[in-house]
Structure 1
């Protein structure tokens, strides 16, 4: 667990942040320049705050009053950056084993073969970085950090330099590190879908201050401000379970109290829980079930509130059967034409193709 309360002042920027974590993945989320990477560097020991403290599992890494500042190599944390930063003259295997130089004790080592297996990099071990794709390099970088057996893994925008296909390749691997290796992660990102999918706890930063802290379904709810600015940044999280996989069409069906959810790909074994991330711009509304339509997912919901301004778009906040919250962005014209108002029962329709099972 991290317990941090720090102040850092630099030319033109001031950071004052206090937060705690409880294991799993904690995301530092916010726009560029909000202070996310500054906090990560302070936890890693790459910069020294002006005041406050940082503790990891009860051990003091930094305390201004007590004049404690552990050097990075004594903190036993692993670092993964946007750029994999592999040694170009070493093979993937040699890059991986380099991490073991920073291992605390032989008794605490993560098994090499297990790490290689979880990350799916067995076939890459003999190659040098120049022969690896961006996603492959990032897998090796994660493996190198893990083989140092860190008490905490720090990930600074690890997917930012990757294209969509490579991001979808790495995301499940980060989840496996979280779930199978039980390594706590402090994860920096400004990508709302990454944070919604991965994090158990989110620390939202705005201009060097902690604006909100909590679970993603609460913290990532629409914030005050012009509705038109929220359209592509608002996501909702739905909790469902896998019902079945259709081999013929390559679709998984998920059970949700509001109705079945259809998504491409294999979502997991029957009965396993799934967190579904839905963008508000991917939700359409209907007052009754339409006849011929390509959309497979139609969820029973009631309108909780409608927000709009002078722009063309309105946000309709819904409560799904079962209690999950879902936001939909539609035109103000559509709201008026449908006569939508608080308390109305509607169908929330979500295109399967807008969700990726990975």
Structure 2
């Protein structure tokens, strides 16, 4: 999927000026409320007409104000999932899903009903009424309905914002499957770092109607200066791992990384399963020597790749651990006391209980 967007839109006192190019399977638009995320979604979906600019999805021009092109929303072949499922209360789940079919001429229908039901794990819900569903179940049905319109692109406007943590955990694996197996590119709006760390393959950062950064998720998330509104606790890095084995007697799972092993709370995954893990900068301690006599189970050897600009009493130290890029937030005093500098060998120490469990998710699979 390629998305090329270069628009300017004025609405009252707010002005959005955004230029985005993305080839990610799940592109996350991230920013505080009022940053312009939903305005971009509405422009792509055809709910608003930009003041000026151009929007192209997969080579198809949807908007070009200079040429007078504005494809109506019902002809864009774009599915949308909102914060609430917005299911029809008088229809059961099967009927809600089939409603999506009505927007696609019979000769153009490609989406397989059974395959989508299986992908989202909603087969046992087909005869249920929306009022009997949990929030996570409603969102999965809403996603299925959108997919059955045979969309070329799926827009998800903060689809998890109204869910509690338990319901979010329920739906995360299905969005991951959709990202990897659904063959439909996704643009996801979110203001949660944990959410985009788990789901996104590429990220666009918005602030006050402007794009401040864009790129692959692993590159964006370790740039600590891009998330000032979320505080230093949100800073972290993504690494690709796979399940090595389980230590069920201790309730632990051992993951294999490029630099060594990581021990995390027990995961319900088979050995060999790919996994993407987020390591928060605040949870990493640095040592010049291999530590001894510590309770921490995770020690990754590496070297300092660079040291960021001081932020008050703290500074971010970038690490190269066997090819995985990590970031540790330490005090300026620690930098001076340890003599940290680019190229210096160090050991990164991470507590197993410190893992951001909500951001531990299925690693994006290679595109085929």
TM-score of the alignment, normalized to the shorter chain, above 0.5: yes
Residue 323 in 1 paired to residue 333 in 2? no
Q: Shift of the alpha carbon at 1:106?
A: 4.4
Change (3 A) 1:349 1:108: farther
User: Does the aligned pair in 1 maintain the 2:284–2:329 contact within 8 Å?
Assistant: yes
Moved more, 219-228 or 199-208: 219-228
Aligned counterparts of 1:227 and 1:47: Cα–Cα separation in 2: 30
Aligned counterparts of 1:228 and 1:84: Cα–Cα separation in 2: 29
Change (3 A) 1:310 1:79: closer
Residue 352 in 1 paired to residue 352 in 2? yes
Instruction: Find the counterpart in structure 2 of residue 71 from structure 1.
Output: 72
Alignment of 1:36-115 (within 5 A): 36-106=37-107, 108-115=109-116
Aligned counterparts of 1:23 and 1:105: Cα–Cα separation in 2: 30
Q: Shift of the alpha carbon at 1:185?
A: 0.4
Instruction: Find the counterpart in structure 2 of residue 245 from structure 1.
Output: 246
Moved more, 325-334 or 182-191: 325-334
Change (3 A) 1:254 1:55: same
Aligned counterparts of 2:340 and 2:251: Cα–Cα separation in 1: 36
Could you list the runs of 4 or more consecutive aligned residues of structure 1 that deviate by over 6 angstroms after TM superposition?
225-229
Change (3 A) 1:269 1:51: same
Give CA-to-partner distance per residue, 1:143-187, whole Å, 9 cap, x none: 111111211100111111222222222121111112112110011
Residue 279 in 1 paired to residue 280 in 2? yes
User: Does the aligned pair in 1 maintain the 2:258–2:324 contact within 8 Å?
Assistant: no
Aligned counterparts of 2:340 and 2:54: Cα–Cα separation in 1: 51
Instruction: Find the counterpart in structure 2 of residue 218 from structure 1.
Output: 219
User: Does the aligned pair in 2 maintain the 1:228–1:311 contact within 8 Å?
Assistant: no
Moved more, 142-151 or 214-223: 214-223
Aligned counterparts of 1:225 and 1:212: Cα–Cα separation in 2: 8
Aligned counterparts of 1:216 and 1:187: Cα–Cα separation in 2: 13
Cα RMSD (Å) of the superposition?
2.5
Scaled by the length of structure 2, the TM-score of the pair is: 0.88
Q: Shift of the alpha carbon at 1:339?
A: 5.1
Instruction: Find the counterpart in structure 2 of residue 119 from structure 1.
Output: 120
Give CA-to-partner distance per residue, 1:254-285, whole Å, 9 cap, x none: 22222101223437444443222112122223
Aligned counterparts of 2:194 and 2:90: Cα–Cα separation in 1: 35
Residue 294 in 1 paired to residue 295 in 2? yes
Matched residue count: 357
Instruction: Find the counterpart in structure 1 of residue 204 from structure 2.
Output: 203
Instruction: Find the counterpart in structure 2 of residue 260 from structure 1.
Output: 261
User: Does the aligned pair in 2 maintain the 1:29–1:190 contact within 8 Å?
Assistant: yes
Structure 2 portions without partners, runs of 5+: 362-368
Structure 1 portions without partners, runs of 5+: none
User: Does the aligned pair in 2 maintain the 1:193–1:235 contact within 8 Å?
Assistant: no
Aligned counterparts of 2:27 and 2:227: Cα–Cα separation in 1: 28
DSSP-derived class of the 1:327 partner: strand
User: Does the aligned pair in 2 maintain the 1:306–1:342 contact within 8 Å?
Assistant: yes
Scaled by the length of structure 1, the TM-score of the pair is: 0.90
Aligned counterparts of 1:148 and 1:129: Cα–Cα separation in 2: 20
